[in-house]
Amino acid sequence: MDDDHAAAWRRIGAADGGITLAVASAACAQDVAADCLGVALVATGELRLLGYASDERARRLEDAQLTTGEGPCTDAFVQRALIEVADLHRAYDRWPAFSQAAADQQVRSATALPLTVGDLRIGALDIYRTAPGLLTERQRSVAHAYARILALLALDEHPHPLTARHRPTRPGPQGYPPSVHLAAGILAEKYHLPPDDALARMRARAFRRAQPLRQIAEYVLTHRILD
């Protein structure tokens, strides 16, 4: 076990609240000087859960990536690689919708790391900062150490990837919360749509209204309609 990995475990073990995904994520945010931080969990490329959000900014940025299907989280998960952007104001060509969402939250830089256990992909760790710039080499090493731990804790708390049938990764959004799947099913039945078309309509509505996709889903679940 390398020094950063061992130090991260000690930090987590010394924190109040036990050894949990939330406690470990909060420790990671402090140790890499993140202004906000999110952990997205993806099972089979279809079911997405928000494992942790340090605050409402992180929650909105995670939801923006889900709604638009673009951003560092999606790229890190799909490419199985560290994704780092020093200035999101210069990333509009790469991620136009996500970059605008980041600007709305006064977030200027982002680093995303895939969460993996062996060959199994669990999700991604997203580190956000309000100032432009990259993590230092030291901070990057610490982030990698925490990513290894977070992947194990995420799998322990959300074991879906172990029991789900493997599916090839598809382009676009990687997974949806369970409520979104339920709402899409309601719309598909009501309007005689394929499920993918129902999801597309919900995503378009969320994007146009700048609302979290989960709020659109909650409306559909309550009122049984989209409008």
Please say whether the structural domain 3-163 has been given the CATH code 3.30.450.40: yes
Mean pLDDT lowest for which of 12-26, 119-133, 153-167?
153-167
User: From residue 142, how far is each of 3, 62, 65, 126, 135 by CA, in Å?
Assistant: 9, 22, 24, 14, 10
Cβ atoms of 180 and 144 closer than 8 Å: no
Are the beta carbons of 213 and 206 closer than 8 angstroms? yes
3-state secondary structure of 226: coil
pTM comes to 0.79
Q: Which two tokens stand for residue 23?
A: 């406690």
What is the rounded distance in angstroms from the CA atom of residue 182 to the CA atom of residue 43?
16
pLDDT, residue 165, reads: 56
pLDDT of 101 strictly over 70: yes
Detail the DSSP E strand segments found in 33-148.
36-43, 47-53, 83-85, 109-117, 120-129
pLDDT recorded at residue 162: 59
> By C-alpha distance, which of 211, 212, 220 is closest to 193?
220
Identify the CATH assignment for 178-223 out of 3.30.1300, 3.40.50, 3.80.30, 1.10.10: 1.10.10
pLDDT, one tens digit per residue, over 145-183 is: 999 999 999 989 887 665 655 555 554 555 676 788 788
- The yes-or-no verdict on residue 185 having pLDDT over 70 is yes
Residue 25: Cβ-neighbour burial (10 angstroms; 0-12, 13-18, 19+)? buried
Q: Is the pLDDT of residue 113 over 80?
A: yes
Specify the pLDDT at position 133.
97
pLDDT (0 to 100) of residue 171: 47
> For residue range 41-88, what is the model confidence (pLDDT) as tens digits?
887 665 677 899 999 999 999 988 877 778 999 899 989 999 999 999
Domain with CATH 3.30.450.40 in the chain: 3-163
